[in-house]
Chains A and B, each alone.
Chain A
Amino acid sequence: MKLSCLQENLARGLGIVGRAVPSRTTMPILSNVLLATDRGQLKLATTNLELSVVHWVGARVETDGAVTVPARNFIDLVNSLPPDQVDLTLDEPSLALALACGSVKANFRGIAADEFPVVPAPEESNGFAVEAGDLRLGLGQVIFAASTDESHPVLTGVLAEFAEDTLTLAAADGFRLSMRRIPLIHPVPQPFSVIIPARALSEVLRIIGSQEEPVSISTTHQHNQILFQLKDTVLNSQLIDANFPDVRRIIPVSSTTRVVLGREEILQACKRAAIFARDAANIVTLSITPGEIVVSADSSESGQGSTRLAANVEGEALELEIAFNVRFLTDVFSALAMPQVSLELNAPTNPGLIKAIGDDAFVHVVMPMHLGRR
């Protein structure tokens, strides 16, 4: 293998793939980044067995070849180089990769490329496409609700249901549920659903960045991996093999109290209440009376505070007091973009339903906290 490319491009590419390199691993190969020539370009790949990221960098390829080198060292060195041309030359028998850039020379000891876990190529036949903006919005509004508790692997994933011309994303951690529909550019022939690790989707969200081109999504033949094809980058995630709970059943179908209010106002009120709530199990109380809502938190140690907001209250019961975990409220209100949100409630012990006014593709359900009334 012999090729040259620009330091800026190589460094940017390594920045994209570098995040998938696991910090601790028992498999030496996973600490390495794969460098391979591919149709006149340089292909970079890393994997942590859950997620693999492949990125293509423009290069002038003289001879083809492939090798893996220690990712940390290689990335750190490339980042430290001047913005100049980088020449990479592989000594095939010893698997040593020589790097030259201006006055800098370096040599990396590699591991054979065929030891690197196989990264499947996208199958053309069953690809679906979504607009980058839709996917960005959907992931941003759903991922945060996934669990981080490893003892329930299924809840650390995001359910993705492909049916007709809609992709429905849902995540739940036992206390809240976030669900959003996003349109597919072409309808799918056969509906199916998969569970994608939330960590992988966070990485998809990061790499989409401000990309505008549509994202192509495909699964491997047995639905055991999912691929996201972005501009110059392919992300490939293992799927979680389990049954996702039937989350639609926990979405309340009716409500006795409906509150409509400004998203930014309630978000600021919650953030303020969080200051006291952090000493009181994160509990904030919403006291609803006709025409207004009071967001308050009370800590026996540090004090108490409240914010009074004007709100449009309608329904059978115009007065209600209910408590929530403030972190769950700030999470959902920060993720929404619409100026107005609605809060649909029944009783202090029943889950609350949060929607964005003018955007019926999103629903969020959050469990209340128990108010220890004496």
Chain B
Amino acid sequence: MSSNPETLSGWPIVGHEWAVRQLQLAVTHDEVPHALLFTGPESVGKFTLARTVAAALLCKSDAELPPCGGCLSCRKLNSGNHPDFLFIEADAKGGALKIDQIRDVERFLSLTPNESRCKVALIADFERATIGAANALLKTLEEPPGYAHLMLLAQDAELLLPTIVSRSRQIGLRPLGRQQVEEALIARWAVAPEQAERLARISGGRIGWAVRAVTDPAYQEQMEQALTAMLAVLAQDLPTRFETAQEMGRDDAHLPETLEYWLTGWRDVLLIQTDNAVKMTYREHANVLEKIAAQVDVARTLAMIQALEKAQQALQRNVNTQLLLENLLLDFPGL
């Protein structure tokens, strides 16, 4: 992938060149679709990109490529005080996006703009919208007022109602290349090269994860804890596993992240078993993972990966986390 210097200098977005190019053209030609659907894995840059488009739409400067970042409109957006911008997200802790929140969006969009030419509603976590909430948005999505722009963020279009997807222009974002994340960390966040290499590798191309890991040390610690917990489970007997499940279920806000770390861990085991150890993510833990790889057969590793993927999907559908964890931990091989 060749990086386009013009694109990179224009908007503060790392990677996603084609999407950025397309959206910049839309902005400069004043042809931004009324409904944009940004899809892609967690922390890949959906919010940053959508917000930049919103800023460009609202920007009041004559800059060739908005947003300028300095005009009153851009300043208000940055301080969360822009009257023509609304941001809605699902409750923290795995909650759903509710119909009342969608009604707020409808109300917001039904009134004419305050000081800009348009109004932008940015709705994150749309895959967590209840059926009622998603249906409530359909009418607005189909016939938005002329000044309205809707931006939906979701992990995967497959998780949404087809009626929502067909009414919006989809911008699919994919994980970035390891190299690209590494370069961006060094150039823009002044990270030391070795550290940048490690974080880029672990991030799996999710730039947001890498940036958070740089700016918030607790975030990396959480990953280490998740891995330690995974290794610990392998040595536990049944009653202890139930206790672990109960303990983890009590604080389930980080569960999606934890499952992601576990999945990467098992993927590493599989890589070792298939003589692909160079591609490993958790090189720092190679010793332990190699030991597991030696004691478990490939079929069992594959089964674990499938079980974790199933658990991730189930988590999106709002299952009982306690039961989910108990099931999952029972599937772990004993060492």
The chain A residues found within 8 Å of chain B, CB to CB, are 26-30, 47, 49-50, 111, 114-115, 117-118, 150-151, 153-154, 197, 224-225, 238-242
Contact = CB atoms under 8 A, between A and B. Distances in A.
A274 B147 CA distance: 45
Nearest to A225: B112
Contacts of B76: 115
Contact of B80 (A26, A47, A151): A26
21 contacts: A26-B86, A26-B87, A27-B80, A27-B81, A27-B82, A27-B83, A28-B79, A29-B79, A47-B83, A49-B83, A49-B111, A114-B72, A115-B79, A115-B81, A118-B114, A150-B103, A150-B107, A151-B103, A197-B111, A238-B114, A241-B110
B103 A224 contact: no
A211 B23 CA distance: 53
A29 B85 CA distance: 13
Given A27-B81, A114-B72, A241-B145, A153 B110 contact: yes
Interface string B82-103: 1100110000000000000001
Interface in B198-228: none
A115 B107 contact: no
B136 interface: yes
A239 B112 contact: yes
B190 to A, nearest CB: 30
B115 A50 contact: no
B115 A150 contact: no
Q: 3 closest pairs, A vs B, by CB?
A: A153-B110, A224-B112, A238-B111
Given A118-B115, A151-B103, A242 B110 contact: yes
Given A117-B114, A225-B112, A239-B111, A151 B87 contact: no
B236 to A, nearest CB: 44
Contact of A241 (B75, B83, B112): B112
A151 B100 CA distance: 10
Chain B interface category by residue count: 20 to 34
A47 B115 CA distance: 13
B61 to A, nearest CB: 15
A29 B72 CA distance: 14
Contacts of A117: 81, 83, 114-115
Contacts of A30: 81
A103 to B, nearest CB: 35
Contacts of B75: 115
A130 B79 CA distance: 41
A240 B145 CA distance: 10
Contact of A240 (B72, B111, B146): B111
B111 A150 contact: no
B42 interface: no
Nearest to A223: B112
B113 interface: yes
A143 B106 CA distance: 21
Interface in B226-250: none
Interface-centre pick from A29, A153, A197 (highest chain B CB count, 10 A): A153
A150 B104 CA distance: 9
Contacts of A49: 83, 111, 114
Contacts of A114: 72
A26 to B, nearest CB: 7
Nearest to A239: B112
Given A27-B81, A117-B114, A197-B111, 6 more contacts: A28-B79, A49-B114, A118-B115, A150-B103, A153-B106, A238-B114
A151 B136 contact: yes
B80 A241 contact: no
Interface centre among B86, B107, B114 (most CB of A within 10 A): B114
Contacts of A151: 103, 106, 136
A26 B88 CA distance: 10
Contacts of B106: 150-151, 153
A271 B27 CA distance: 59
Contacts of A26: 80, 86-87
B114 A154 contact: no
B300 to A, nearest CB: 48
B110 A154 contact: yes
A118 B113 CA distance: 11
Contacts of A153: 106-107, 110
Contacts of A118: 114-115
Contacts of B86: 26
Nearest to B76: A115
A279 B147 CA distance: 46
Contact of A28 (B81, B110, B112, B147): B81
A107 to B, nearest CB: 22
Contact of A238 (B82, B87, B112): B112
Nearest to A115: B81
B154 to A, nearest CB: 21
Contacts of B112: 224-225, 238-241
Contacts of A150: 103, 106-107
Interface in B51-87: 72, 75-76, 79-83, 86-87
A117 B145 CA distance: 21
A111 B81 CA distance: 11
Nearest to A222: B112
Contacts of A197: 111
Scoring B79, B80, B110 by chain A CB atoms within 10 A of each residue's CB, the highest score goes to B110
A110 B146 CA distance: 36
Contacts of B79: 28-29, 115
A49 B119 CA distance: 12
Nearest to A120: B115
A22 to B, nearest CB: 12
Contacts of A224: 112-113
A153 B81 CA distance: 24
Contacts of B107: 150, 153
A9 to B, nearest CB: 29
- Among B72, B79, B147, the one with the most A-chain Cβ atoms within 10 Å of its Cβ is B79
B221 to A, nearest CB: 30
Nearest to B104: A150
Contacts of B110: 153-154, 240-242
Nearest to B100: A150
Nearest to A224: B112
A159 B115 CA distance: 23
